[in-house]
Amino acid sequence: MAKKWKRVTGVALSFTLLTTSFLALTACGSNSNAGAQDNIIRAYGCEPKNPLVPGNTSETCGGNPLDLLFEGLVSYDGEQGKVVNSVAESIKTEDSQHFKVTLKPGMKFSDGTAVNAESFVDAWNYTANTANAQSGQSFFDKIEGFDEVSKKDATQDQKLSGLKLVDDTHFDITLDAPSATFVTSLVATAYFPLPKAFFKDPKTFGTDAAHTIGNGPYKLKNYVHDSKIELAVNEEYKGADKPQNDGIEFLVYAGSANDAAFADIQSGTLDALETTKTDNYVNNKNDSRIQWKVEVSNNYASISIPGYLKHFGFDEEGKLRRAAISKSLDRKAFIEKIAKGLAVQPTSFSPVSKSISGSVDKIEGNDVLEFNAAEAKELWEKANKISPWESGETFKLFYNGDSGGKEAFDAYANSIKETLGINCVSEGTSDFKTLLHMMADKKVEGAYKDNWQLDYPSIENILQPLFKSNADSNYTGYESEEFDELLNQAAKQVDIDKANALFTKAQEVLIKDLPSIPTTYGYNKGAFSPKVKNVKYNWKGVPDYLRMSKK
């Protein structure tokens, strides 16, 4: 008996010893990384969904590092509100359909190889080809020959006929039809060049520091999945965008760990958090440990009402009901109570900003975006005369429940319910992919939250993909000959101002039909360390990390 007891206590004793020694060991190994004042910006990051390949990245986790690791033909100067040349020396056109591109000589990738016309032509051909299944494919749909390379049975060696290599620093682009905003659209990540190394081994490119080669102001120094993406200054870079810091470290936060990132801003381990929750801002507005940067974002925000919904076809009845719904949304009360002042009343189909070429604060007929209970009721009654709204019918507002839209959509639903006296409820889907699937299959049984992030800084990027007949993201099924014609006319212009005037006219057609009702445009609520200087947003609503400095 005694022997056995010894054995048991032996086991128990060694176990406790093990754990306590383990605790002691780990306690000794602890160190703190705060204190040192360097000029490296530690920024909020998240794990990219794909390897770091520009043509296959359509989300910000990968997009933010890529925009610093690569440089395209042109970039957008948000302060002046115009496109400036980057790798391109010049892009010439006489008809907005044929473009002659000249590159600056002597530009290099971080591995020392030249950035030449081939780097662009090969990259674009690769991304456009269906066989490579790249998410940036649709960016090339304006280029001649896209129909061929995007066919179901396209083979990898097929090339866009609209791209012609002239010599090392020259290539020509031919579009299917004129596009006044084509040069502006070239700022998008999908148009970045790719080095020879990519085509040797496309599968491993962008998975680690050794296999990520760009031509931007930074190079990838270290990429630890789920942990951090470290960028260092690229010595091979000869362009104009010289970094004002010694490097950028994207610290990866998993899941929806925005709260964890905010905690790190307060404790000083993180320098830049591009946006945070409204509550965090309201509750910590005067916290001296935080440098706030709040301004209107460039995202379009709306409730779309699909045309396949009963009572909401794109006819007289649908028009009346859409206008009635829009006028019954008490946006002012929403901005004040729910958004805590961090949202603005829409006046057109985009926020007004220098970062959106062609955005205007006045379009004819925009009074439909203002709350007016009496008129809303009147319009609704008019529609009822065409086809009555039965008492048992419910108007549903869908939103994706994973990004905190409940408060807003409950408020909208209440506003509609009270103004029109109809049954209106909000309904959250479990996540965005569920809602997207319903939208794509045209199976949403109500209106739905429809937000849009710009791919290039032009109003066209809202009007064309969301509202042109049969466009990629036109999930409402909206079709208007007049609207399409205005967009086509605008595309033919060489002068961007003339094009923008036509876009405004197109908006005025759109606001009569209201396939999608602008709600309120939100803010970027960025939190930064007080140590960081020169905090600004670029046209994408992403902090301009390159120009930030701690000195």
Question: What residues between 191 and 220 interact with other proteins by CB under 8 A?
Answer: 203, 207
Q: Tally Cβ neighbours within 10 Å of residue 4.
A: 8
Nearest CA to 355 out of 457, 500, 501 is that of: 457
| Cβ-based neighbours of 292, under 8 Å, separated by 6 or more | 281, 285, 525, 526, 527, 528
Is 430 a residue that touches other proteins (CB under 8 A)?
Answer: yes
Nearest CA to 52 out of 210, 186, 196 is that of: 210
Nearest CA to 330 out of 379, 376, 370 is that of: 370
Residue 14 CB, shortest distance to other proteins, in Å, is 12
Is 434 a residue that touches other proteins (CB under 8 A)?
Answer: yes
Which of 266, 299, 345, 489 forms a contact with other proteins (CB under 8 A)? 266
Is 269 a residue that touches other proteins (CB under 8 A)?
Answer: yes
Distances (CA, A) of 277 to 261, 273, 331, 523: 11, 11, 20, 10
Residue 218 CB, shortest distance to other proteins, in Å, is 20
Which of 95, 259, 316, 361 forms a contact with other proteins (CB under 8 A)? 259
Nearer to other proteins, 67 or 330 (CB): 67
| Cβ-based neighbours of 454, under 8 Å, separated by 6 or more | 298, 299, 300, 356, 461, 462, 539, 540
Is 252 a residue that touches other proteins (CB under 8 A)?
Answer: yes
Alpha helix ranges (H) inside 268-405: 278-283, 316-327, 331-337, 373-386
Q: Per CB under 8 A, which of residues 466..525 are in contact with other proteins? A: 472-473
Residue 162 CB, shortest distance to other proteins, in Å, is 18
Nearer to other proteins, 91 or 190 (CB): 190
**Interacting span for other proteins (CB under 8 A) from 93-101, 221-229, 383-391, 406-414:** 221-229
413 near 446, Cβ under 8 Å? no
**Interacting span for other proteins (CB under 8 A) from 24-32, 91-99, 510-518, 535-543:** 24-32
Q: Per CB under 8 A, which of residues 349..368 are in contact with other proteins? A: none
With tokens 């610290």, the residue in question is 251
Distances (CA, A) of 315 to 49, 311, 479, 489: 41, 9, 11, 25
3 state SS of 513 = helix
Is 440 a residue that touches other proteins (CB under 8 A)?
Answer: yes
Which of 152, 200, 362, 385 forms a contact with other proteins (CB under 8 A)? 152
Which of 455, 460, 484, 513 forms a contact with other proteins (CB under 8 A)? 455
Print burial letters for 80-111: b (CB count within 10 Å at least 16), e (below 16): eeebebbbbeebebeebbebebbbbeebbbbe
197 near 213, Cβ under 8 Å? yes
Nearer to other proteins, 281 or 371 (CB): 281
Residue 481 CB, shortest distance to other proteins, in Å, is 25
Residue 300 CB, shortest distance to other proteins, in Å, is 12
Which of 70, 124, 126, 139 forms a contact with other proteins (CB under 8 A)? 139
Is 452 a residue that touches other proteins (CB under 8 A)?
Answer: yes
Q: How far apart are CA 454 and CA 358, in angstroms?
A: 13
Nearer to other proteins, 180 or 466 (CB): 466
**CB-side exposure of 289: number of CA atoms within 13 Å?**
10
Which of 157, 226, 235, 481 forms a contact with other proteins (CB under 8 A)? 226
Residue 173 CB, shortest distance to other proteins, in Å, is 20
> Which residues are registered as beta bridge partners of 165?
171
Is 51 a residue that touches other proteins (CB under 8 A)?
Answer: yes
Site string for other proteins, 118-137 (x = CB under 8 A): ------------xxxxxxxx
